[in-house]
Structure 1
Amino acid sequence: MSGFPGDLNDDQKKTLEEFKTRLTNDKNDLRTKLGLTEDNNNNKHVVLWTVDMEEDSAQRDIVCLKFLRARDFKLEQSYEMFKKCLAWRKEFNIESLSSEQFPDYYAKIGEIYRTDKEGRPVMFNYYCNIDVDTVFKDGVTQFLRWKVAQMESAIAQLAAGGWSQENMVVVHDYKDVSMLGMDKRTKQASRETIQLLQDNYPEMLARKFFINVPWFFEKLYGFFTAFSNERTRKKFIVCGNKTYRKELLQFIDAESLPTKYGGMSTEESNKIECAIIKAKDALRVDLGELQSEQMIEWEFICESMDIGFGIEKAANPAPSSPTSSSDTPTSPGKSRKQAAGNVTVLDIAQHEYNAGSYKVDEAGRYIFVLDNTYSIFNKKSVHYRVAVKEHDSNPVAPAAAPSTTSTTTTTTQSSDPAPSTTTIPETSTTTTTTTAADAAETTTSNQTKEETTTVPSSTPAEATTEPTTTEAPTSEVPSATVTEEVPKTEEETKSEQ
């Protein structure tokens, strides 16, 4: 049996009851050691992670089982771990963290950002942004207090949800991290952080991703995991810089990723499409007849490597009646091949992810293109959303127009660490109806979110709106410069193929 609530064998149930009996018998001793004195003629109860440990409840069972699983249901070791955790919290002065202020630079190195598909908080740590001389200028104590505040903030979200989920997801980003001359303070902080969390926050981890890992990460991975137990190591997922989006998207919706990883807006009500585009193939989404000054707006993220993207103006208007040819679908629709005479108005360029807009300069029929024809072997899975709206309904900051047209385009660079995302309002024009049977194995998924984050193009691209994330700092990463992305060189294209 797993040892989680509702999945206990007889021995595990017996051990859980014995654990709770000890809590009842020791409550006065625990209160004394924790300094819990009388308050309005009532003794303060022993509380851990907002859960009253003296009152029987499903939430108390969840907390007790965390300590029991961490010590393989060995009662003495589990209960001793629990008591040491309470003593540590008093010594560390956990209660003061809610009012403690941390320097602004901590917001750049980590945040709690929305949830995974099952409602777990997701903690992102941006190790590439750590300036050791700034973060560790006075030693590692403040950093450790910040990490604990981050943990307490995530746990507050779990508690606010009634503990329907009892653990969290962690993402460590190692982009551009160097092993050369690793600062001893970094090693100390890593070692102490791992030990502190392992001793005092048992069974809080659902899974941990290591993304954008460098080629030498095997050595780095061995160093960091040497201090973790086997149970914890099994939850680790190591991802390279070309595959991490695919791994993340298995567990986290595109709308719940930070924009620096291609996350999509939560403001848009249109559903997100998912298309599998074969090698040497393309997907074309017919947007229908558009008028001058209307805006085409899009968001997409490629699960691995990159995908070509562009916009075409069709030579002919949309057919007035359905046709069996996938090359000339009824508007709106999808097709694979470019019809003769179509003109490319936004040049095809390769992106890992992208969000932006295009203003229609001349009335006509327009087509949104996701192009994988340059790839010889690799099929691509792409999550995308495209819509058409009136220009005046939500003006978009102008950017330099491509040299080949007189229209205005706004796109984000996939290489920028924090690309901005354009919020796409709902329109009456639909672009998700499939009329071609052979159109790139397309599937559709509705994306619903309890929280809503508005990300205007003129504000920082990342903002969190979790009502319970008040104790730990959250990050507002400055948005990328809105500009037209430079297509990849021939050498880079060959490398991808």
Structure 2
Amino acid sequence: MDSSSPISVQKASPKPQPYRKSFVTSLMEAATLRTPSFKEDTYFISNLKSSEKKALQELKDKLGNESFSMWGIPLLSGDEKADVILLKFLRARDFKVSDSLHMLEKCLSWRKDFNADNILEEDLGFKELEGVVAYMHGYDKEGHPVCYNAYGVFKDKEMYERIFGDEEKLKKFLRWRVQVLERGIDMLHFKPGGINSIIQVTDLKDMPKRELRVASNQILSLFQDNYPEMVARKIFINVPWYFSVLYSMFSPFLTQRTKSKFVISKEGNVAETLFKFIKPEDIPVQYGGLSRPTDLQNGPPKPASEFTVKGGEKVNIQIEGIEAGATITWDIVVGGWELEYSAEFVPNGEGSYTIAVEKPRKIAASEEAIHNSFTSKEAGKMMLSVDNTASRKRKVAAYRYIVRKSAIISG
């Protein structure tokens, strides 16, 4: 991929009127922007306060000489991985040793009763929910594994009854949901300065709140009690208008540290929000990214170039240097599309005609990333155009491409 390809911009006239934020947008921003951004622990012992170092040693002393282990790491081994786990429990209880010990002992007991150490090996039979309801997918820009959650499918009553119809079904679902989280935990480093937590993205679109209240409360309780400091950031997307009101109500009961992990994005701003934390090639196509499930089977994703389409602008991406007989394959996406897109091939030769590869058409907001290819019969350049002149709203976008000729890859 060649990220240096020129991007030309044409502006519409007259200039669109300044975008004014709605009351709901302003309220949601106020709920989040007042909160300082979460700062993750480094887990370097040298960075701890003297009181925190003392608390760590006291916790070790209170554990005695028993051979406790968690995620395959002996807690009294004295190595840095064990310290990372113990510090998570201490941080969750503000370094109060007695409270931290109580939480740790309860967690160890729960893991034994739940058989959590062997859960990754189980086939719990939720194939229809894999990649839909809860799943690990890619990494954020800092290297944290990302867990996506979406419960909108349960608005279907038949689906809801099949998964949550009775207490036994609910228990099995909760076990599967823990299994998904354990997959993410299995990707962590558990070492100072390493990746020691995950990112959670929760899609609230069409989520049946009343029906899922019992399940969501139990999931929240399990995670809070047994996975302290395992989430670096909680991103809520497709947030309904009333969420800001609910947030203002329960906000006083949340710790400042918990609130600092929250990022709230209303419907229509999903891609713009996720692009801040996750590269577009790692974001699923249904959320405005370029990543499809099959992509992960082929190794690390190919990098993409990000760009912005301002209100009243038309952006042309020129991919030059395409030789005769070469095949160019490209992906392009605009967050919340609602603009016109086209692609054409412009030959270098005099007298040659421009080829309309994709005729101009308006792309709906709900449409996913475009994936296409073209084999040139003569040398030239590819022109991808996104026309936002009819809108005043700024939009984030990304593209990538690869050129192949005779099994030689360039671009």
For 1:101, give the aligned amino acid.
D
In structure 2, stretches of 5+ residues that fail to align are: 1-38
1:263 maps to 2:303: no
Aligned to 1:491: none
- The one-letter code matched in structure 1 to 2:348 is P
Conserved? CA contact 1:116–1:251, under 8 Å: yes
Residue of structure 1 in register with 2:310 after alignment:
278
SS in 1 for 2:328: strand
Quote how far apart the aligned CAs of 1:12 are: 1.2
TM-score (norm 2): 0.74
Aligned with 2:201: secondary structure?
strand
Structure 1 residues 100 and 227: CA distance shift in structure 2, 3 A: farther
SS of structure 2 residue aligned to 1:382: strand
**Could you list the runs of 5+ residues in structure 1 that have no partner in the other structure?**
29-44, 320-340, 394-425, 431-497
1:120 is matched with 144
Provide closer, same or farther for how the CA distance between residues 357 and 64 of structure 1 changes in structure 2, counting only shifts above 3 A. same
**1:67 positional shift:** 1.0
Give the corresponding residue for 1:381: 396
Q: How does 1:278-317 map to 2 (within 5 A)?
A: 278-288=310-320, 294-303=326-335, 305-314=337-346, 317=348
Where does 1:291-440 land on structure 2 (aligned, <5 Å)?
294-303=326-335, 305-314=337-346, 317=348, 344-351=356-363, 353-359=368-374, 363=378, 365-390=380-405, 427-428=409-410, 430=411
Amino acid at match of 1:138: D
Compared CA separation, residues 137 and 52, structure 1 to 2 (3 A): same
Query: Partner of 1:5: helix, strand, or coil?
Result: coil
Q: Cα 1:161–1:246, aligned 2, differ >3 Å: closer, same or farther?
A: farther
Matching residue within 184, 204, 218 for 1:174: 204
Displacement of 1:162 after TM fit? 8.6
Larger Rg: 1
SS in 1 for 2:266: coil
CA distance in 1, matches of 2:301, 2:110: 46
Shift of 1:240: 1.9
C-alpha deviation, 1:198, in angstroms: 0.6
**Structure 1 residue 143 displacement after superposition:** 1.5
Matched, 1:105 2:128: yes
Aligned to 1:464: none
Aligned to 2:186: 156
> Could you tell me how far 1:291 is from its partner in structure 2?
7.1
Give 1:120's aligned amino acid: H
Shift of 1:243: 1.5
In 2, Cα distance between equivalents of 1:98 and 1:269: 25
CA contact (8 A) 1:289 1:363 kept: no
The structure carrying a bigger strand percent of its residues is 2
Q: Give the structure 2 partner of residue 145 of structure 1.
A: 175
Give the secondary structure class of the aligned counterpart of 2:317: strand
Q: Tell me which amino acid in the other structure corresponds to 1:356.
A: H
Pick from 274, 283, 293: which aligns with 1:248? Answer: 274
Please give the alpha-carbon distance, in whole angstroms, between the structure 2 residues aligned to 1:380 and 1:67: 41
Q: Are 1:295 and 1:357, in contact at CA under 8 Å, matched by a contact in 2? A: no
Does residue 61 of structure 2 align to residue 21 of structure 1? Answer: yes
Pair 1:298–1:21, CA change in 2 (3 A): same
Once the two structures are overlaid, the 10-residue window that deviates more, 144-153 or 371-380, is: 371-380
Residue 376 of structure 1: how far off its partner (Å): 4.3
- CA distance in 2 between counterparts of 1:355 and 1:249 reads 18
Tell me which moved more, 46-55 or 268-277.
Answer: 268-277
CA spacing shift, 1:350–1:11, aligned 2, 3 Å: farther
Q: Which has the higher helix share?
A: 2
Q: Which residue of 2 aligns with 1:10?
A: 50
Does the 8 Å contact 2:331/2:372 carry over to 1?
no
Instruction: Check 1:362–1:241 CA distance in 2 against 1; reply closer, same or farther (3 A cut).
Output: farther
Superposed displacement of residue 250, structure 1: 1.8
The TM-score with structure 1 as length reference comes to 0.62
Among 83, 87, 97, the residue aligned to 1:61: 83
CA change 1:318–1:10 in 2 (3 A) is farther
2:42 and 2:194 in contact (8 A); partners too? no
Alignment CA distance shift 1:63-1:313 (3 Å): closer
Select between 368-377 and 355-364 the one with higher mean Cα deviation. 355-364
- Mark the CA change 1:69 to 1:216 in structure 2 (over 3 Å): closer, same or farther: same
Whole-Å Cα distance in 2 between the matches of residues 80 and 115 of structure 1? 33
Structure-2 residue corresponding to 1:84: 106
Which of 176, 181, 195 is 2:221 aligned to? 195
Counterpart CA distance in 1 for 2:179 and 2:133 is 14
- The change in CA–CA distance for 1:289 and 1:166 in structure 2 (over 3 A counts) is closer
8 A contact 1:288–1:318 mirrored in 2:
no
**Could you give the per-residue CA deviations for residues 278-320 of structure 1, whole angstroms, max 9, x where no partner exists?**
3333332334476777543211232455553212344x7379x
- C-alpha root-mean-square deviation of aligned residues, in Å? 3.3
Aligned: 1:133 with 2:161: yes
CA deviation profile, 1:317-340 (whole Å, cap 9, x unmatched):
379xxxxxxxxxxxxxxxxxxxxx
Bigger relative contact order, structure 1 or 2, given CA contacts below 8 A and separation 6+?
A: 2
Distance 1:59 1:309, change over 3 A: same
Matched, 1:71 2:53: no
Distance 1:269 1:194 in 2: 32
1:203 aligned counterpart, secondary structure:
coil
Matched, 1:95 2:127: no
Q: Give the Å deviation of 1:171.
A: 1.0
Q: 1:348 to 1:118 in 2, by over 3 A?
A: same
1:10–1:79 distance in 2 versus 1, CA, 3 Å: same
Taking the aligned partners of 2:56 and 2:359, their CA distance within structure 1 comes to 64
